[in-house]
Amino acid sequence: MKKLISEDQAIQNTQKLVGTSGNAQPKANPVRDLLAANKKDTNYTAPQPKPYPLNMSDEILSDMYVASMNIRKILDQVGENPALKDKYKGTIKSLKAKIDFVNKALVDISGEIDTIV
């Protein structure tokens, strides 16, 4: 008859340190190492908040970007429609180019607003 592993045996097997040889005990982190880690990385500070009217700009610009991409997707579907594909091919291509221009402008606007902070 096979012997089942009990819970106590499983815990003993998982308490080994990975990457060490023998029975090395874990050691404490010196405070100087922790303080030195903060000096290496400058990404631990939060970004500065934008002034009052501009704090909503990211949400508005992202909504505009998503809406323009939705319009582009609709134009892609119109371009796949056999009844409209040949008749409006040039118009659809022109509209897609304008939407790409608007999307690029939205990204540029967002970048310039970020410099105001």
Kindly list the domain boundaries of the chain, sorted by start residue.
55-114
The C-alpha atoms of residue 53 and residue 87 are separated, in whole angstroms, by 45
Residue by residue, pLDDT tens for the chain (117 residues) are 566 656 555 555 444 555 556 666 777 777 777 777 666 656 666 777 888 888 899 999 999 999 999 999 999 999 999 888 888 999 999 999 999 999 999 999 999 998 887
Would you state the pLDDT for residue 109? Answer: 94
Alpha-carbon torsion (13, 17, 21, 22), positive or negative = negative
The C-alpha atoms of residue 19 and residue 111 are separated, in whole angstroms, by 45
Would you state the pLDDT for residue 17? Answer: 52
Question: C-alpha angle with apex 106: 103 to 107, nearest 5 degrees?
Answer: 90
Would you state the pLDDT for residue 105? Answer: 96
Q: Is the pTM of this model over 0.85?
A: no
Query: Dihedrals φ, ψ of 25, to 5°?
Result: -90, 145
